[in-house]
A and B are shown apart, each in its own frame.
Chain A
C-alpha cells in the first residue's frame, strides 16, 4: 500500500533547546501510527512541523504526496486535524461551529450524523463553552472528521474522556480505518495505542527511541507489557546504561 505520510530527517529547535532531531516516519495508507512520549518529548512539535503550522529547521514532509506548505489548500481538503487545544469563537454553538467548519470543504460529511455518532446528537444548540471537557474533546474529533478526510491527525484525542466515551471513539476510528482512513495520533494511553495503532513511535527529548509494532516494542525490552516497555524505553537511566 502507498505511503500516506512520509517524514524524513525532521529537526526543530527553539533557540538552544532541541525539540526534534532527525525524525523519520512513514505511515502506509489505511494504517495508524501512534506517537508516544512524555510531556515535552516533542510530540506536539512533531505534529505541527508535519502539518506545517510550525516551520521545521530541516527535513522533508509529504502527506498524500503533497508538501504541507506549498500545497496547503489542496492538502487540507483531504486531511483532518484535531489539535491538543480545541479553540473556537466566543459564544459559538456546537451546530454553528460544525456548519462553519463543514462549509470550508468541498464534500464534507453531514455534521448531524457525526455528532450523533460521537454522542453529541442533542447538543447542536449548546454553546461550545458549556460542554464538559469530554464532550468538547469529542466535538473537536468530529470537526477533524468533517472533511471526510483520507488522513487524520489527532493530538491526544481521548484526554479527558471517560472509559465508555474512549471506547466509542476508538470504535468509530477503527471502523473508518478499515475503510482506508490513515490515522496519525499522539497519546499517553497504552491501551489506546494497542487498540488503534499498527505502528508506534516513542519519542524521548526530541529523538526517536523506538519505532515498530507494539509487540516488537515489548519483545525488544525486558518487560511484559507495553506500558512497562514504554517506561523502559523512556527511562532516564537507559541513556547512561547505553553509553557505558
Chain B
C-alpha cells in the first residue's frame, strides 16, 4: 500500500507536469461541451423528443476523458517506461507488474472522474442541465466503460513491441473511437451504415450504456453493451497480465 500511494503521488505529479493529459482528458471534453451547449444544447434532441440535445450528449462527453486516458495515455506511458528501461529497473525491485499497472490505471481513473465532475458542473451551471437518470446506474456504467477502455490500453501498452508502435496503435484506436463512437459527433446523426460500423467500437457500446443511464431509458437495452464491455475488460486484463513484458 505504501508503494502504491507513493507511486501514485509521483506519477500524478509527473503526469500533470507533462500537461498533455490535462489538455486531452480535462480541457477537450469541456470545450466540446461548451461548443455543443452554445450551438444546440437546449434544443430537443430530435423532433418531438422529451430530452434536450445536451442531455442526450452528456454520457458521450463524459466518455471522452476515458477514451483519451485509456487508449492514448495508458499505452503510451507503459510502453515509454518499458522503452526507457524504467520497467527493467523495477524488475530488480520487489514491485509487481500488477502494482505498476494499477498505479497507471488509478492516475487515469482520477482524470476521468475529474472530467466527469467538471463536465457536470459546467453543464449544470452554464446550460441548466438536469441529470434525469439514476446516478448509481450511471456511475456503474461509467466504471464499466472505464474498465473496458483501460484494459484495452493496458493490453496495447503491454504488447506493443516499442513506443513508436504503441503510438501508432493508440492513434488507430483513439481517433476512430473519438469521432465515430458518438463521443464527439452525435451517433444519432450518423447514417445507419456508419452506425453499424461504429457499433463494432467498444466505446460506442459504452456510450449507449451511459446515454441510457443518464436519460433513464429502460435497462433492457443496455444488456448487450454491458456484456460486450465486460467481455472486453476480462479478456484484455488477462492478456495484459499474462503477457506483461519488463523489456
Spell out A's residues near B (CB within 8 Å). 51-53, 72-74, 76-77, 79, 81, 83, 85-92, 96, 99-106, 147, 153
Residue of A nearest to B81 (CB): A89
Tell me the residues in window 1-29 of chain B with beta carbons closer than 8 Å to chain A beta carbons. 2-3, 5-7, 10-11, 13-14, 17-18
Report if B92 contacts A (CB, 8 A).
Answer: yes
Closest A residue to B2 by beta carbon equals: A103
**B4 and chain A: residue at smallest CB distance:** A103
Which of chain A's residues have a CB closer than 8 A to the CB of B94? 72-74, 76-77, 104-106
Q: Is B246 an interface residue (CB 8 A)?
A: yes
Q: Is the CB of A89 within 8 A of B2?
A: no
B89 at the interface (CB under 8 A from A): yes
Q: Kindly list chain A residues whose C-beta atoms are within 8 Å of the C-beta of B5.
A: 103
Count B-side interface residues using an 8 Å CB cutoff. Answer: 27
Q: How far is the CB of B87 from chain A (nearest CB, A)?
A: 10
- Additional pairs, 17, CB under 8 Å, beyond known A87-B86, A104-B3: A72-B94, A76-B92, A76-B93, A81-B89, A81-B92, A83-B88, A87-B84, A89-B14, A89-B84, A89-B86, A90-B14, A90-B80, A96-B14, A100-B7, A101-B93, A103-B7, A153-B92
- Report how far A72 CA is from B247 CA in the complex, Å: 16
**B40-93 interface (Cβ within 8 A of A):** 80-81, 84-86, 88-93
Give the residue name and chain of the B residue nearest to A140 (CB).
B89
B95 at interface by CB-CB < 8 Å: yes
A104 / chain B contacts, CB cutoff of 8 Å: 3, 90, 93-95
A204 to B2, CA, bound (A): 44
5 A-B residue pairings within 8 Å (CB atoms): A76-B93, A83-B89, A90-B14, A101-B93, A104-B3
Q: Does B96 contact A (CB under 8 A)?
A: yes
Q: CA separation between A52 and B5, bound complex, in Å? A: 27
Majority DSSP secondary structure for residues of B touching A: helix
CB of A85 within 8 A of CB of B92, answer no
List the A side residues contacting B3 at CB < 8 Å: 103-104
Known: A76-B94, A89-B81. A53 touches B14 (CB 8 A): no
Closest Cβ–Cβ distance, residue B104 to chain A (whole Å): 12
Bound state CA distance, A76 and B80, in angstroms? 23
* Nearest CB on A from B195, distance (A): 41
* 7 nearest A-B residue pairs (beta carbon): A103-B6, A87-B85, A81-B92, A73-B94, A104-B93, A87-B84, A100-B10
| Distance of A157 from chain B, by nearest CB (Å) | 15
Q: Known contacts A76-B92, A101-B93; decide if A91 and B17 are in contact (CB<8 Å).
A: yes
Given A101-B93, A105-B93, residue A85 in contact with residue B6 (CB < 8 A): no
Interface of A is mostly: loop
In the complex, how many angstroms separate the beta carbon of A105 from the nearest chain B beta carbon? 7
Nearest A residue (CB) for B96:
A73
> In the assembled complex, which residues on chain B have CB atoms less than 8 Å from the CB atom of A81?
89, 92
Known: A73-B96, A83-B85, A99-B6. A91 touches B14 (CB 8 A): yes
| Complex: A73 Cα to B96 Cα, angstroms | 8
Check B18 against A90 for contact (C-beta < 8 Å): yes
Least CB distance, B98 to chain A, in whole angstroms: 12
By a CB distance below 8 angstroms, the chain A residues around B247 are: 53
In the complex with contacts A87-B84, A91-B14, A100-B10, A79-B96 CB distance below 8 A:
no
| Contact assessment for A53 and B93 in the assembled complex, using a CB-CB cutoff below 8 Å | no
Q: Which of A53, A72, A88, A153 contacts B86 (CB 8 A)?
A: A88
Cβ–Cβ contact A53 & B91, under 8 A? yes
Given A99-B6, A103-B7, decide whether A91 and B93 contact each other with a Cβ distance below 8 A. Answer: no
Complex Cα distance, B13 from A106, in Å, reads 23
Which of chain A's residues has its CB closest to B95's CB?
A104
A89 to B88, CA, bound (A): 12
Q: Within the assembled complex, what's the spacing in Å between the Cα atoms of A83 and B96?
A: 19
Q: Which residues of B have CB within 8 Å of A99?
A: 6, 10
How far is A202 from B85 in the complex, measured between Cα atoms in Å? Answer: 27
* Complex interface: chain A residues within 8 A of B2 (CB): 103
B84 touches A96 (CB 8 A): no
Indicate if the CB atoms of A53 and B10 lie closer than 8 Å: no
| Assembled-state Cα–Cα distance A99/B13 (Å) | 13
Closest to A80 in B: B92
CA distance A4 to B152 in the complex (A): 43
Instruction: For the complex, give the distance between the alpha carbons of A91 and B6 in Å.
Output: 16
| Contact A87 B89, beta carbon cutoff 8 Å | yes
Given contact pairs A88-B86, A100-B7, A79 touches B92 in the complex (Cβ within 8 A): yes
CA–CA, A79 and B91, complex, Å = 12
Q: What's the Cα separation between A53 and B88 when bound, in Å? A: 7
